[in-house]
Amino acid sequence: MTTTNTAETATTFPLGPFQVHRVGFGAMQLPGPGVMGPPQDRDTALAVLRRAVELGADHIDTAQYYGPDVSNELIRAALHPYGDDLALVSKVGALRNKKGSWLPAQKPAELRAAVQDNLQSLGVEQLAAVNLRITDDIPGYVRPALEDQLAEMVAMREEGLIAGVGISNATLDQVRTAIELADIVCVQNAYSLADQSDADVLALCAAQGVAYVPFFPLGSAFPGMPKVVDRPAVQAVADRLGRTPAQVGLAWLLADFDNILLIPGTSSLAHLEENMAVAEIELSNADIAELEA
């Protein structure tokens, strides 16, 4: 980990051909409960997207299977035609059925079909990046060879359908393979102050100039799992700075490595304002030491 504070770190980082602000927006929370169905308040969902861009978010993370078919439709309704500096990033490798179950869709042909679906629903000819989300944890499912999956992703990049290849939910060895075979531009893995088990992948990405986009940046969303906002040190630093514990947890990520890009998601305008203000928070070396103690 670094010991620099936010004021000394970069405010942007490359994401493929884009130079994006380090606080973007994740669209996963825009659909209804359980990431299924339409939003509870469509007008608010559209307003959140527009306000995020107004506040400087030029990196929006989405997926066709959010909803399914909901988050992309909202993004297009709110923001199309898109600004030239807006990086739309999606992910492939899964589907949702009518019951909301997550199903693997990892075959090269399925990856291609998913990219085409994203392009059509978002109304673009090219995506800034697409993450191949690895599914090695589904009982009885045998994932195709990673080399074959990456070859299909590279082929779509060469065809101009995507500008950059990414990988998600990947091990250190899988990330190494993806860097070697696909020259990936980003990695999306779980990482937070409460769960730093992916630190070796983060360090590799930093050394290779690859953007690292943590999901679960405030700890696992599952009940009973450790949450960053529950840590006494986080609460103490937040009180001292006049910020929320969530803001402090996100600010720590920005101070940790310059290649970390945040995509906090929300369906609330108030929470959006708080999330986007994270880039302004300066953590001192003493703050960071207290948080990491």
Burial 179-212, CB ≥16 within 10 A → b, else e: bebbebbbbbbbbbbbbeebeebbebbbeeebbb
Both tokens of 121, joined, read 């629903």
The candidate with the shortest Cα–Cα distance to 260, out of 271, 249, 244, is 249
- Tell me the one-letter amino acid at 26: G
* Terminal C-alpha separation, the chain: 12
Q: State yes or no: is 66 an active-site residue.
A: yes
Catalytic one among 66, 82, 191, 212? 66
Quick count: other Cβ atoms within 10 Å of Cβ 3? 12
- In degrees, rounded to 5, the angle at the alpha carbon of residue 130 between the alpha carbons of residues 37 and 22 is 90
- Please check whether residue 260 is in contact with residue 235, taking contact to mean a CB–CB distance below 8 angstroms: no
DSSP letter at 131?
E
- In degrees, rounded to 5, the angle at the alpha carbon of residue 14 between the alpha carbons of residues 106 and 257 is 90
Name the residues annotated as catalytic: 66
